[in-house]
Structure formats: structure tokens, C-alpha cells
Amino acid sequence: AGAALCILASCSEGPTKQMSYNQGINVIPTPVSLVQNEGSFKLNKNTAFSASTPEAKTVAEYFAAQMNLATGYQITVSDKAASNGIALTIDETLDVNDEGYTLDVTPNGVTVKAKNPQGLFYGMQTFMQLLPAEIESQAVVNGIAWTAPCVTVKDEPRFGYRGIMLDPCRHFIPVENVKKHLDVLALFKINRMHWHLTDDQGWRIEIKKYPKLTEIGSKRIDGEGTEYGGFYTQDQIKEIVKYAADRFITIVPEIELPGHELAAIAAYPELSCKGEPTTPRIIWGVEDIVMCAGKEEPFEFMQGVFDEVAPLFPGEYIHIGGDECPKISWKNCPLCQKRIREEGLKADKEHSAEEKLQSYFVQRMEKYLAEKHGKKIIGWDEILEGGLAPTATVMSWRGEEGGIAAANLGHEAIMTPSSNGMYIDQFQGDPKIEPVSIGGYDPLERVYAYNPTPDTLVAAGKDHFIKGVQSNLWSEYMYNTDLLEYRAYPRVLAVAEIGWTPLARKDYKDFERRLDNALVRLDALNINYHIPQPEQPN
Ligand code: TNX
């Protein structure tokens, strides 16, 4: 990112060896407790890792590889403690949560302790952020003193779900770019990637039982007759799931139902009420043609899809969509109306019969996924309408109300409100000079300010149902991955701090200060991040 270098004072002098960026303590997200002590630790060619278990060794090897890449040293990993060493130790008695850790940096060595490898991974990420930012370089950087200030850190995340959603449907995201995101997410302790794999404009995951999903459903005709498409093979999905797991990131796959499914219906028209031929949608917005809830075919189809999707993703959740499903075709469909009568789905004061039909659809899928695959479902907040499926987790996007309602019903919820800065596909600066976006205005400070536990839930003692926070990168106006990175960063770093840092320790001014250093790390990973620009006069 050439532009990014210009935030450095050394801009005119070329590359950043002078280390002119902020060298203080710059950890993002801010740890629960960090005390700076006298002195510093120096990484040198004799530094070695020691690891207490085979899993700890895997974590040590991950970081040794990056350190060697940037320093040119040959740092090794053994099971014996070394002087001037970095010791990774599993300690099940440690007084932190499952993702927490302690980190001690002294002039003579570094010690990271955690209950499990994930905590060690986060402790090491904190240590990496204490070293000069060039430690993230992908090639050797000479002439740097690889020192880290001595500190005592005790740290654990505020929330267990810290997520980012990627949408490869509207604009495809190649495998290498997904991996690039995972690299960055890992630096800032994000632990979930929600992968929106199907939508009206494209079906993006190979399903062997239904080959037309990718033959037909992954392609659309964009502007002036050009074909646009792309999908992930199951082998590529496995590769990405493994890549994410190596970084302690769990992927939450989303397969939309019963709406946002025109690409699947284009491939298999019998899935809709009328069964008319159609094509994947070429414009944005909400599609009226949806899966028929009166026929059996869509239920069998979804089961066939889930039979292949569930084994690909080891995480506990599958996201079943559920958002923006217009009910017009169900109102006019004799089979849907028959199902409504036979299942006794009567309209009441709060919900129409068709909303209850959607709930019926979701609950059949919930049951299937639980019984056949041992998976729990997440759905967008519309799944509250017509009755919430008994074990569902709600993803609250139309404001916080859905998450609050779910928590009040004793259900888990994840906050991703479009109204409170979590839609990072929206403008982050003056629309007069920013690339075209879907609308909205979510500059970094507004994103940073979000708190996922509404006062009403805290007062009622129900905030523990809020499992965490997510920001969404819908890709209607992200024509390429440069734009995707531009929208994502640095706002994702603000989301990382919302998800990890205790509310009382959040401080925007200080975050801005720390960002200076983090951006140099993003440069090392060649990320095309956004730099705030002044508002333009009218
Ligand atoms: C609404 S958020 C949608 C998406 C769009 C997004 C654009 C949600 C569950 N549905 O299909 O891409 O708005 O911001």
C-alpha cells in the first residue's frame, strides 16, 4: 500500500527502517491488564522457543516461522527451556477464561501461559505487537533492533464470538484473498468468519448432489452482457477451513433460506412456487421469487445441501439466513396455503400466517441439522417473526431490537446492528470523495463507539445472552478485493477491540494513537486500507 507509507514521517526517505511510527505500547485490542516494567527483551539469533505440549509446539512454530521471515534468524522450537527463550506453557489452573493468557516479558526471556493453545496464540499475538511493526514483514528487514518492552499482561476476551462476515456472492472473493483476510483477523484476535455463501446474485459453494448450482447458479450476466461468476470447490473450502483453524478462527457458513435464493432457483426452478425459468439476479435489492414452503422439494433440497455443507465445517453453527423473504409468492400459492391450513399456522395479532410458515420452514431445518448433523442454527433477526425456533441464535441486524428480544426469550444473540456502525460496507468518510457505497455513514469513531450490551439487558441481568459482535462486509459495491480491503480496514480493528476489550478500558483517542503502529503491520501484509480524509466543502 504505497499511499499508506505516507502516514510515516519518513515518507520522503523511502522504506520505514527509521521506525518513525509510534513506538509506545500499541496493542490492539487493548488487554484487560498490562503493566510496563523496567527494561526490554531483545530477540536475537540465539532466541529459541520452548513448548510444553505438542499443541503448544504448533503455536510456537507458527510464530517462529513469521519471526524468521522478518528477521532472517533461524529461531527454533524445542521442548526444553532455553536462556533468552520464549516459553509457551499450557496451565489448566490459570485464572483466565478459555481464550485468555498471561504474558511476561523480562530482559531474560518471555513466558506465555494459557489454558489451551488458543490462549497461547493470543498471548503470542500480543507479544508480536510489542515488537517493532516490521516483525510482520514478509521478507527480511535488516537494521532493526528487535526489542520488546518488559511487561506483565493478564488478558482474556470480553466476548466469545468476535466475527466478521464476508459476502462472496455479490462480488466473488478468491481463495488467496480470503486467506489474506484470515491473516489479518488473526493478528487482532477475531475468532469467527461468517461466510455468506449463497444469495440471489450467485451460489458460491460446490454441492456434488446438485451440480447445476455452480454450473448455472454461480454465473450471472453483469452490465453490457459480460458473464460474472466464481465459486469455491469443496477442496478449496476444506483448505480455507484448515487455514482458518490454524489461526483459531472458526468459519460459520451461511446457506440462505427461504429467501435470497434466486441463484439456486435459477438452477432448479422447481424450488419456487410457480417453477418458472429464471436467472441469477443481476441487480441489488430484495427478490420476490423465493423457495416454496408448500412443496416438499425445497425441504429435500436443503437437506441434500446441508448433508454436504455440515461435514465441511467443524464449527457448532450453521447460519440458515432467514432475512428479507417477501411473502407475496406464498400468499398466491395454493400449496403454501394448504400447508398453512394443515399445520394450523393461523395468523394472530403479531404475525401473519405466512410469517408462521417461514418459522415452520426454519424449524424443520433446525431439527434436521440438530438430529442429523449435531449443528445449531443461527439466523438473521427475521427468524423471530412467526415464532423463534427453540434452539436458534439470533443475529440482530435491523438495529438491536432483535437481539434484545432474543435475549429476553432466553436465546443467544450476536449483535451486528446496521444502525450502530456494524455495517462496514457503508461509507466511512465524505460520500463526495469516497468510492460509491450502499449508503449509510459509519466512520471509524462511530464503529469504535458501539457497545453490544444494551442497557436494558444489563439492567435485567440478561446481557450474558449476548455472545458477541460482528461486522458485515456486504459486497454489492466491492467490485474487487482492493475495495473490500479498503472498506474493511481499519474498521475491523475497531470491531476487534469492541469484541475483546472491557468496556471501561476502551478509549478512542488512545485507539487512534495505537492505530499508527497497526497500519505499518497492515502495510507488511499489503493491505489496501483506508486513511481518513477531511470532509469536502459543498
Ligand atoms: C441487507 S443484512 C441484507 C443484505 C444486503 C445488505 C446491504 C441482511 C441480513 N440482508 O442482503 O447485502 O442489506 O447492506
DSSP string over 435-448: PP-SS-B--HHHHH
- Give me the number of domains the chain comprises: 1
250 domain residue, yes or no: no
Element (H, E) at 334: helix 334-342
Dihedral of CA atoms 99, 90, 32, 529 in degrees, nearest 10, equals -60
Does residue 126 belong to any structural domain of this protein? Answer: yes
Closest by CA to 479, choosing from 522, 444, 435, is 435
Identify residue 134 by its one-letter amino acid code: E
Strands (E), 99-168: 101-106, 109-114, 147-155, 161-166
The mean pLDDT of 306-333, rounded to a whole number, is 98
Residue 525 is assigned to a structural domain of this protein: no
Q: Identify whether the C-beta of residue 205 lies closer than 8 Å to the C-beta of residue 240.
A: no
Q: How far is CA 328 from CA 286, 287, 324, 353, in A?
A: 12, 11, 12, 12
Point out the ligand 1 atom lying closest to the alpha carbon of residue 324: 10
> Hey, whose CA ends up nearest to atom 8 of ligand 1?
323
* Minimal-distance CA residue to ligand 1 atom 12: 474
Question: What are the tens digits of pLDDT across the range 19-74?
Answer: 567 778 999 999 999 999 999 999 999 999 999 999 999 999 999 999 999 999 99
pLDDT at 142: 95
Nearest ligand 1 atom to the CA of 438 is 14
CB distance 339 to 298 below 8 Å: no
Give the three cell numbers for residue 394: 439470533
Residue 129 lies in a domain: yes
Q: At what angle do helices 175-187 and 481-488 cross, to 10 degrees?
A: 20
| Atom 6 (ligand 1) nearest CA | 474
Percent of the chain scored above 90 by pLDDT?
92
Question: In this structure, is residue 111 part of a structural domain?
Answer: yes
The reply to whether the predicted model has a pTM over 0.80 is yes
**In the predicted model, is pLDDT for residue 247 greater than 90?**
yes
- Ligand 1 centroid from CA 415, angstroms: 15
Asked whether residue 180 is domain-assigned, the answer is: no
Residue 77 to residues 43, 66, 138, 141, Cα–Cα distance (Å): 14, 13, 20, 22
Chain segment 323-381, per-residue pLDDT in tens: 999 999 999 999 999 999 999 999 999 999 999 999 999 999 999 999 999 999 999 99
Rounded distance from Cα 175 to ligand 1 centre (Å): 23
Tell me the C-alpha distance between 488 and 418, whole Å: 15
Candidate from 323, 416, 471 with most ligand 1 atoms within 8 A of CB, to mutate: 323
Distance (Å) from CA 522 to ligand 1 centroid: 28
Which ligand 1 atom is the nearest neighbour of the CA of 474? Answer: 12
Residue 276 lies in a domain: no
* 474 C-alpha to ligand 1 centroid (Å): 7
Residue 49 located in a structural domain: yes
Q: Ligand 1, atom 4: nearest CA belongs to which residue?
A: 474
Q: What span, in angstroms and rounded, lies between the C-alpha atoms of 325 and 340? A: 17
Q: How many CB atoms lie within 10 A of CB 414?
A: 27
Task: With a cut of 80, say whether residue 534 has pLDDT above it.
Answer: no
Which residue's CA lies nearest to atom 7 of ligand 1?
474
How far is Cα 364 from Cα 341, in angstroms, rounded to an integer?
A: 17
Maximum separation of any 2 CA atoms in the chain, in Å? 77
CATH code, domain with 63: 3.30.379.10
Whether 13 is catalytic is: no
Ligand 1 surroundings by CB, under 6 angstroms? 323-324, 380, 397, 423, 425, 438, 474, 476
Q: With CA atoms as reference, report the closest residue to 102 among 128, 37, 111.
A: 111
Question: Does residue 299 contact residue 270 with C-beta atoms inside 8 Å?
Answer: no
Length of the chain: 538
The alpha carbon of 150 and the centre of ligand 1 are apart by a number of angstroms equal to 46
Is pLDDT at 9 greater than 60 in this prediction? no
Nearest CA to ligand 1 atom 5: 474
The answer to whether residues 418 and 402 touch, using CB atoms and an 8 Å cutoff, is no
CA of 142 to the centre of ligand 1 (A): 46
- Domain hosting 70: range is 33-155
Q: What is the ipTM of this complex?
A: 0.96
